[in-house]
Amino acid sequence: MKESEGKHNRERNLLALTGAAALLALAANLAFSAFNSHRKKTKKKDLPGSNVRVNLSPSEILRLADRIIANSKAVHEKVASVPLDKVSYVNVVSPLAELEAEQFPLIQSCVFPKFVSTSDEVRKASAEAERRLDAHALICSVREDVYLVIKAVAARGEWTSAEAKCYIQSLVREFERNGLNLTVTKREEVQRLRAQMDELSLQYIKNLNEKSTFLLFSEAELAGLPAEFFKGLDKAENGKFKVNLRSNFVAAVLELCKVGRTRRMVAVAYGKRCGDVNLPVLENLVQLRHKYARLLGYSNYADYAVDLRMAKTTSKVFEFLEDISINLTDLATKELNMLKDLKKKEEGEVPFGIEDLLYYAKRVEVQKFDIDFGALKQYFPVNLVLSGVFKTFQDLFGLRFEEILDAEVWHGDVRVFSVFDLSSRELFGYFYQDIYAREGKYGQTCVVALQNGALLSNGARQVPVALLISQFEKDISGHPGLLRFSEVVNLFHEFGHVVQHICNRASFARFSGLRIDPDFVEIPAQVLENLCYESFVLKLISGFHQVIHAYN
């Protein structure tokens, strides 16, 4: 673990901002900092109301996974033992709902270290814990005795609320999508296929996470990329730069590199990463999924997957895509030809490939709107953008974010925030912010639910906890980390997921936050990312930076 954030703050460089808009952003930043400076420091301990555990050792992760499994078995046995003529919401549904709410953060405590831990041993233990937990979950999902008592409750139709009815129906549907309404022979085959599919899926992700691939390029081969990009790269013995195939590096090369050959090499290598080991896994997984879907009465796995979605059938999906294609083909062809012509002018008679799309789309924007994206990046130092994001979401949703100093975290770069309702001061939840790139960390930007909100049987409300993961480059040599505008938009998108998760007030953990209907889960974030284009928000998140001097 790196030195504490406090020392980092004492030695940080003074950030000077210019322009009226920047002064507004600076005021927001100073206000946020001043507010935070009066917070009481907490000891390094678990957050009140959060059951998420961090910094578990490999052995502790595996022991916790085993305890989760043992407790789950006990609850399922008790539920299954209820006579069918005595089933009720209280003795069947409530214990299962409570189990989901209480064990989800413990399960995530075992699983999320594989995404963020700096220890290879911890990541391996986390992956093994996930394997054990998934195997147990599979067993629970095909327990006929539990299925029968839940179905008996559903048949009575005694709902305590509309949400409770939805929960019971989802339990029944889940069992039946795992084959519990089939003959014994088919059911056993479904279970066998499901176990194989889960194992292959884990293997596929494990291969991607463990693969650390880089390509070597000279400075000339990376022409067009800003100086800040090179500061985040290591050098090989031959003096060439190592470009890791992480999403943040790949996106920068595909957007900004002037050398077509370099873009193509990076795009191909990124698309083929782990191909030697993952292609057989993928081929096998596709075949197993098809068999699985057919056993459950679907024509193919796509029909099985889309059955719970708004479209219901793949034919509807194809109709929708065909309609889009008919209406957009002419425009798409026109725009693609424009990009091809631009490439021909810059690179000559070289075929246009998928690796050219981002670069030449950006070139069109530069020409059409007279934008210098390199200069534009200078207006989005990461700390200023973050302060503007906090300010925007606080004002928009009536929230208050308070950083918790000295909270237990897994890396010195991680920050923890509590989220309160501004008017009532009610604690809505917490979120961890782990936004800087490092070796061994999950390579994509995403939000992970660590604890779901729920209304417990004792009347208490369990608060949500979220984790925001990103791959921004950290401040180097006193210079602030700068964000491309696309990264700013992406940050707003993911912050939308954080707020969506924390502000959810569902009674059941199964419907909380990011576990809502898959047709809807992306909509709030997609709407909120458009705030980046509003002038009042741009004033908060942007300002030209200039390093003046360091101070202690």
Residues 461 and 443 in one domain: yes
> 153 and 34 in one domain?
no
**Amino acid letter, 545:** H
Let me know: does 418 contact 404? Beta carbons within 8 Å. Answer: yes
List the beta bridge partners of residue 241. 217, 235
Q: Do 398 and 362 share a structural domain?
A: no
Write out pLDDT tens, residues 441-458.
887 889 999 999 999 988
Does residue 47 form part of some domain? no
- 32 shares its domain with 119: no
From 182, 197, 227, the end of a domain falls on: 182
**64/162 same-domain check:** yes
384-439 pLDDT, tens digit each:
999 999 999 999 999 999 999 989 999 999 999 999 999 999 999 999 999 998 88
Same domain, 399 and 357: no
The string of pLDDT tens digits covering residues 27-57 is 334 334 433 433 444 446 569 999 999 999 9
12 and 69: one domain? no
Which tens digit of pLDDT belongs to each residue from 203-218? Answer: 998 888 777 788 999 9
State which H helix or E strand residue 10 sits in: helix 5-10
Mode of pairing for the β-strands spanning 214-217 and 13-18: unpaired
Is position 303 within any domain? no
Given the residues 130, 473, 494, 529, the one annotated as active site? 494
Band the pLDDT of 546: cuts 50, 70, 90: low
pLDDT digits (tens, 9 = 90+) for 283-334: 999 999 999 999 999 999 999 999 989 999 999 999 999 999 999 999 999 9
Q: What is the CATH number of the domain that holds 74?
A: 1.20.1050.40
Same domain (yes/no): 412, 474: yes
Give CA–CA dist 440/114, Å, rounded: 9
- The alpha carbon of residue 209 and the mean position of all alpha carbons in its chain are separated, in whole angstroms, by 14
Domain of residue 442, CATH code:
3.40.390.10
> Tell me, what's the pLDDT at 476?
66
The residue from 371, 396, 416 where one domain ends is 371
Whole-model pTM: value is 0.79
How many Cβ atoms are within 10 Å of 162's Cβ, its own excluded?
Answer: 8
| Per-residue pLDDT, 32 | 41
Is residue 382 domain-shared with residue 516, that is, in the same domain? yes
Residue 306 domain flag: no
* pLDDT given for residue 404 in this prediction: 95
Q: Please report which confidence band the pLDDT of residue 234 belongs to, taking 50, 70 and 90 as the band edges.
A: confident
Q: How far apart are CA 134 and CA 62, in angstroms?
A: 13
Q: Is residue 338 part of a domain?
A: yes
Whether 144 is a known active-site residue: answer no
Domain count, the chain: 4
Q: Are residues 18 and 90 in the same domain?
A: no
Q: Examine the domain organization and report whether 364 and 388 are in the same domain.
A: no
* Residue 107 within a domain: yes
57-61: average pLDDT: 97
Question: Per the domain annotation, does 278 fall within a domain?
Answer: no
Containing structural domain, residue 110: 58-182
Question: What does pLDDT average to over the chain?
Answer: 86
- Spell out the residues 6+ positions from residue 421 whose beta carbon is closer than 8 angstroms to its own: 398, 399, 400, 428
Report, as an integer, the average pLDDT of 254-269. Answer: 93
Residue 224 domain flag: yes
Q: Does one domain contain both 387 and 453?
A: yes
Give the containing element (helix H, strand E) for 12. Answer: none
The per-residue pLDDT for 438 is 86
Confirm whether 282 is domain-assigned.
no
Kindly report, residue by residue over 522-531, the tens digit of the pLDDT. 999 999 999 9
Q: What is the pLDDT of residue 45?
A: 59
Backbone CA torsion sign across 404, 409, 414, 419: negative
Nearest to residue 251, comparing CAs of 176, 362, 174? 362
